[in-house]
Amino acid sequence: LINNQHSLSPNFSPQTERLNDSSGSNSGGESSKESSRCSTPVLDADRSDRLRDKMRRRMESGDRWFSLEFFPPRTASGAVNLISRFDRMGSGGPLFIDITWHPAGDPGSDKETSSMMIASTAVNYCGLESILHLTCCNQTKEKITDYLTKAKRLGLKNIMALRGDPLGEDWEEEEEGFNYAVDLVKHIRSEFDDYFDICVAGYPTGHPEAESYEDDLRHLKEKVDAGADFVITQLFFRADTFLKFLEDCRAIGITCPILPGIFPIQGYQSLRQLVKLSKLEVPEDITKVIEPIKDNDAAIRNYGIQQAVEMCRVLLESGKVPGLHFYTLNREVATMEVLRQLGLWIEDPRRPLPWAVSAHPKRKVEDVRPIFWASRPKSYIYRTQDWDEFPNGRWGNSSSPAFGELNDYYLFYLKSKSSKDALLQMWGEELMSEESVNEIFTCYITAQPNRRGHKVLCLPWNDEPLASETNLLKDELEKVNRRGVLTINSQPNINGKPSTDPIVGWGPAGGYVFQKAYLEFFTSSENVTALLKVLKKYEPRVNYHIVNVHGRNLTNAPDMQPNAVTWGIFPGREIVQPTVVDPVSFMSWKDEAFALWIEQWAKLYEDESPSRMIIKYIHDNYFLVNLVDNDFPLENCLWQVIDDMFELLDVPPELLNDGAVSE
Amino acid sequence: LINNQHSLSPNFSPQTERLNDSSGSNSGGESSKESSRCSTPVLDADRSDRLRDKMRRRMESGDRWFSLEFFPPRTASGAVNLISRFDRMGSGGPLFIDITWHPAGDPGSDKETSSMMIASTAVNYCGLESILHLTCCNQTKEKITDYLTKAKRLGLKNIMALRGDPLGEDWEEEEEGFNYAVDLVKHIRSEFDDYFDICVAGYPTGHPEAESYEDDLRHLKEKVDAGADFVITQLFFRADTFLKFLEDCRAIGITCPILPGIFPIQGYQSLRQLVKLSKLEVPEDITKVIEPIKDNDAAIRNYGIQQAVEMCRVLLESGKVPGLHFYTLNREVATMEVLRQLGLWIEDPRRPLPWAVSAHPKRKVEDVRPIFWASRPKSYIYRTQDWDEFPNGRWGNSSSPAFGELNDYYLFYLKSKSSKDALLQMWGEELMSEESVNEIFTCYITAQPNRRGHKVLCLPWNDEPLASETNLLKDELEKVNRRGVLTINSQPNINGKPSTDPIVGWGPAGGYVFQKAYLEFFTSSENVTALLKVLKKYEPRVNYHIVNVHGRNLTNAPDMQPNAVTWGIFPGREIVQPTVVDPVSFMSWKDEAFALWIEQWAKLYEDESPSRMIIKYIHDNYFLVNLVDNDFPLENCLWQVIDDMFELLDVPPELLNDGAVSE
């Protein structure tokens, strides 16, 4: 269809020639690759390419990358922590991450700790290009096919094909079964054609069970010839080891990318354990250093970091290594430090869109979302996961398929990182009145400790501290929250700032971004009554939606018509409008927003307890309000709207303030 | 699909209530009606409503309208003139026009003078809501169904159902045939259900062949009961005549709109002729005035205007007349003057989009077009007439179905309004060199007479004098055309002017419009060589496409990716971007743009004549260039680009200037 993704127009390419002398330029070279792949203007090619194409383009541009390996967590809370680690380490700009396969841990199941679920979450909810490991020995073809089918359904596009360790000592080759990784590679290609990008393992010192180093090289060649796209190596301790291996691979005709596996030594135990598993020998000069300090974790880690940095420098300077693969052991510090010292860690990532995109293939053209889920993007992705098409270019009228219900507020990728106790400390062990709720909101805004001395780092609607953009509105937000205008989402108006602006910028360089001022809050029906009177003065400058938990939506907005509140203008592209205020979606959002009062807050307290009653009262009686100031070039008038509302309430502000401070 | 038109979301309406106290407001009331009908943000309801809905909303808002009746032309050149009259009179804002049906003139044929073709052109190419008359007597049901099917296919949505005058005196009712208009109304409803809006004729003094006034009223009632949506009356000479008729209609239960047919007396002969046809009597007080001045056309027209204005005032002041229907006799002056005096003529029409929209139902969501056809909208509509879908919200990558070939440059709705002689006078009976061509372009820009003293009012690429917007660039344009940069399309950069701006404004009030500077021109390959060197300095600020007649397209634009060059931000709406520079369409446009050199200009001269050779040389050797300055907030840099090009050419400007002035 006109506005959706399109293949190349056959009758165009032949007509068009690229100027040799301009194709080198950024605007030429880069984006030409880009536009031929994705339909939506702002998207960088990275979003729509498959992994092997990303690698190819990075190699062409000489732009080195890194990747990160994680293993699945053992516990549910471990899963929650790992997902937020993905978010943090993802911001450093890895080209991909990979998740190991643990046959013992039911790796293909729907358990939140399974390899399959973790990889799926990384792709769908963290927007990370991910590789799922898969081991084949002792597995039937049917089982493997089931795993691959499920992986494909979940949006996974890359498989690391491994043999895996035989279970038990008395393992023998099976006639029909999978005996080597090459059998798995062949199976994937025969069953799924070219759908998956396939990675295989290389052993710089030869696989421990191989008859010889040369024999092992031949096995690697077989795996690549069978259809593997690139190689990641086992860890090693000397750059020379890898460089020789690389040379030998090229010598026998292995031409695909070969990525060195880097293992920053992080501790004495982990090193010994890994060496045992991988049957590797630690060079004497390393053991000589480590043994004396084996009980000093900090010292060992510092040494590991230095050792890894030096080795990586040699590898990169060889000019033969396009990217580095890190065995993180699910830890952040050492790997991040190594990457920082190598200058590979992206400190200030450019955002292709104002919100974090999902890496699921079917979402690759998505570039419009309602603003309501700005602080709960994972919930938005969850509630729209069944959509077959995603808005591209325009949201459209009542165009969204129905949103999925959000019944389980405890899905591990949605769960708060804070424990119940921590939440009680932040939000109050005991609430005395609505004013104590105002105070919690105010403390969250100001980042000041509450009366019990605990900082309020999150709210049910915001699992993170205030965004730097929202900080621009801090003073005004504090003022209104103190008085019972409980804000949960807002953005300032922006009249054409550079797309590279560190705070509000997004999209390709050389563009301009714009915003309409937006404010969303819960407030009492008394306030709403006054607000509605006030809003008449602001017609048609201000659009509003006002709804309570029962779903009575008062609005002056053109029915069914979305209001674009964020947009960007870029060189050589169509307009992009990534966030809208959409009346239809708002009704789905309000169900979630109101439910969070109960699910996340009220349920912290005993049944029938005053605290729970207070939250319940707010849930039952407050309204959810959103306001848009359409005059983005003028000064934001929404604060004036709220001030006018307070005036109309005709209550001396001091009194209200006291109310908010004393209980 | 997401970005295209959608029906109301069933699960939304019930959830949403309009605030009683806000629904009266413009932003509420107006647009709520609007958005529930059309998917594309900027469109006024008028664009997507059917005629009877437009009438209803006008009556609700108390907003009076007028409509215009024309008859099909007798000659081909008459057709050309009538179409440009449609464009002129359409700008005054008629709610609809109607085209009479002339059984003698092969009214349903594809001849450019047929009623069917004229009505189709009014709808498709002039964007006018149109009613096609249709008479049924002496016609078979099959024939009538053919006509209606063809009308529907052409995009016509409204039929004026008439009996028509029996051919020959010995007419008798046929058992199975159509004897009265009511038969035709029934037939339309039975064959086409509710597709057409149907209008029928009313006779304020009774139909001449009716047995009685009351009997005729009953016939009208039958026609309305059979499914007619509104009534237009025969002309009359006194307001009372109509008001009594209206009262009598209401009395017998005719509730639909009844529009008075107004006939401004424009001349003695035309009055007598019409009176004869309609078997009406001219009141004595009118004949008393006219007879003495029968030979003074001006005097009679002035009287006619006064008489019509007075009568219309009475009708409007009665509060019972929502709109006035004018029998124009295909003339402009009298009707426009009456409408001006009544204050119904729109002097400064608001543009829903920067370009004139088509009224064909399948185009009602269209809101994006390539900028190239800005001066040839009818050609664009012709070349896209076979598309099933039209861009809405975003153009997309290589999204356009193939453009139709433009082989016939003499389609009456595309033909220049100027005669061959006039064109020769404007563009030169004899061309001596490329410089004389530069001069013609320069004279067109400056509106100065050429060396032979003739003003250049049009060019093959612009059938109208310079647009007021382009006038903003006049001085710069003159300078570059003088030196062989032959501009055919351009727009200044606009950084957020009010959508109500008289020159560059468009769309609903309360919004802001933006533009990127655009310049399109023909120029020599020498210039292009220099230009390409210069453009490297302007990467990536300036995007360009450079192509010659053979289709070699040099560009630094992200391949296949359109560049939005006009967009608007409006209260409570998504972004609208009505014009783009699209690489794919540009290749179709260049075929047309180059062909116009030959078809419209070269062919004015003898074969082998020097003049024709010069144009042929330009056609064969020049390049078509378009430039976009992406930095719309900064000062337009495109003039600097051209200046840099001239400098690089390293030829003393004086010399070039002389060249341009002397032959």
Q: Give the model's confidence band at B13: pLDDT under 50 very low, under 70 low, under 90 confident, else very high.
A: very low
Task: Determine which of A186-190, A385-389, B539-543 has the lowest per-residue pLDDT on average.
Answer: A385-389
**Residues facing residue B498 across a β-bridge:** B512
d(CA B481, CA A15): 28
Cross-chain CB nearest to A12 (options B18, B496, B560) = B560
Residues B570-621: tens digit of each pLDDT: 999 999 999 999 998 999 999 999 999 999 999 999 999 999 999 999 999 9
Phi-psi label, residue A62: left if phi above 0, alpha if psi -120 to 50, beta otherwise: left
Place of tokens 């200058």: A343
Residues A2-17: tens digit of each pLDDT: 333 322 222 222 223 3
In three-state secondary structure terms, B266 is: coil
CB contact under 8 A, B510 and A633: no
Mean pLDDT over all residues of chain B?
A: 87
In this predicted structure, what is the pLDDT of residue A183?
94
Task: Determine which of A386-390, A567-571, A632-636 has the lowest per-residue pLDDT on average.
Answer: A386-390
d(CA B536, CA B513): 30
Catalytic residue among A17, A30, A34, A69, which? A69
In this predicted structure, what is the pLDDT of residue B188?
97
Cross-chain CB nearest to A398 (options B9, B391, B628) = B9
CB contact under 8 A, B25 and A556: yes
Considering only residues B406 and A201, tell me which one the structure prediction assigns the higher pLDDT: A201
d(CA B124, CA B155): 7
The shortest C-alpha distance from A418 to chain B (Å) reads 35
Residues B280-324: tens digit of each pLDDT: 888 998 989 999 998 898 999 999 999 999 999 999 999 999 999
Which DSSP helix (H) or strand (E) runs through A146?
A: helix A141-153
In this predicted structure, what is the pLDDT of residue A400?
54
Q: Among A574, A577, A579, which would you mutate to test the B interface (most chain B Cβ atoms within 10 Å of its Cβ)? A: A574
Going edge to edge, which strands form the sheet with B576-581? Answer: B369-370, B576-581, B563-569, B512-515, B494-498
> At B41, phi and psi to the nearest 5?
-50, -50
CB contact under 8 A, B539 and A15: no
CA distances, B441 to each of A534, A559, B437, B465 (Å): 57, 49, 6, 12
Task: Give the closest residue to B233 by CA, choosing from B209, B249, B222.
Answer: B249
Count residue pairs from A and B with Cβ separation < 8 A.
Answer: 289
In three-state secondary structure terms, A312 is: helix
CA distances, A602 to each of A424, A429, A488 (Å): 10, 11, 17
Task: Give the closest residue to A468 by CA, choosing from A488, A448, A491, A487.
Answer: A491
In this predicted structure, what is the pLDDT of residue A467?
80
CB contact under 8 A, B571 and A563: yes
In this predicted structure, what is the pLDDT of residue A5?
30
Q: Among A368, A397, A515, which would you mutate to test the B interface (most chain B Cβ atoms within 10 Å of its Cβ)? A: A397
Q: Tell me the average pLDDT across A173-186.
A: 82
CB contact under 8 A, B39 and A396: yes
> Which residues in chain A are closer than 8 Å to B587, comparing Cβ atoms?
12, 15-16
Residues A309-365: tens digit of each pLDDT: 999 999 999 999 999 999 999 999 999 999 999 999 998 777 889 998 888 989 988
For B356, which DSSP code?
Answer: P
CB B520 within 8 A of CB B547: no
In this predicted structure, what is the pLDDT of residue A46?
59
CB B444 within 8 A of CB B466: yes
**Residues facing residue A69 across a β-bridge:** A98, A327
CB contact under 8 A, A574 and B31: no
Q: Give the model's confidence band at B178: pLDDT under 50 very low, under 70 low, under 90 confident, else very high.
A: confident
Q: Tell me the average pLDDT across B455-474.
A: 87
Question: Exposed, middle or buried, A172 (CB in 10 Å: 0-12/13-18/19+)?
Answer: exposed
Taking the mean position of all CA atoms in its chain, how far away is CA B217? 37
Residues B254-275: tens digit of each pLDDT: 999 999 999 999 988 888 888 8
d(CA B369, CA B364): 13
Tokens in use for A595? 């439910």
In this predicted structure, what is the pLDDT of residue A629?
98
Q: Tell me the average pLDDT across B29-48.
A: 38
CB B251 within 8 A of CB B294: no
Which amino acid, one-letter code, is at B385? Answer: Q
Tokens in use for A444? 């969250």
**Residue B357: is its pLDDT beyond 90?**
no
Which chain A residue shows the shortest CA-CA distance from B23?
A: A556
Which amino acid, one-letter code, is at A545? Answer: H
**How are beta strands B16-18 and A623-629 bridged, if at all?**
unpaired
CA distances, B285 to each of A348, B238, B281, B288, B307 (Å): 87, 11, 12, 5, 11
What share of chain B has pLDDT > 90, as a percent?
68
Within 8 A by CB and 6+ apart from A23, the residues are: A29, A32
**Residue B415: is its pLDDT beyond 90?**
no
In three-state secondary structure terms, B426 is: helix
Count CB-CB contacts under 10 A for residue B572. 28
Q: Give the model's confidence band at B38: pLDDT under 50 very low, under 70 low, under 90 confident, else very high.
A: very low
DSSP labels for B113-153? TSHHHHHHHHHHTT---EEEEEE-TT--HHHHHHHHHHHHH
Which amino acid, one-letter code, is at A121? Answer: T
CB contact under 8 A, B35 and A559: yes
Within 8 A by CB and 6+ apart from A564, the residues are: A395, A516, A577, A579, A580, B569, B573, B574, B575
**How are beta strands B258-262 and B230-235 bridged, if at all?**
parallel
Catalytic residue status for A69: yes
Q: Tell me the average pLDDT across A461-482.
A: 88
Euclidean distance between the first and the last CA atom of chain A, given in angstroms as a whole number: 60
CB contact under 8 A, B574 and A558: no
Residues A542-593: tens digit of each pLDDT: 999 999 999 878 999 876 789 999 999 999 999 999 999 999 899 999 999 9
**Residue B47: is its pLDDT beyond 80?**
no
**Residues facing residue B556 across a β-bridge:** none
d(CA A451, CA A431): 12
Cross-chain CB nearest to A391 (options B2, B563, B628) = B2
Cross-chain CB nearest to B396 (options A6, A8, A583) = A6
**Residue A133: is its pLDDT beyond 80?**
yes
**Residue A114: is its pLDDT beyond 60?**
yes
- pTM as predicted: 0.85
d(CA A528, CA A526): 5
Tokens in use for B39? 């998917």
Cross-chain CB nearest to A17 (options B552, B563, B570) = B552
Taking the mean position of all CA atoms in its chain, how far away is CA B409? 19
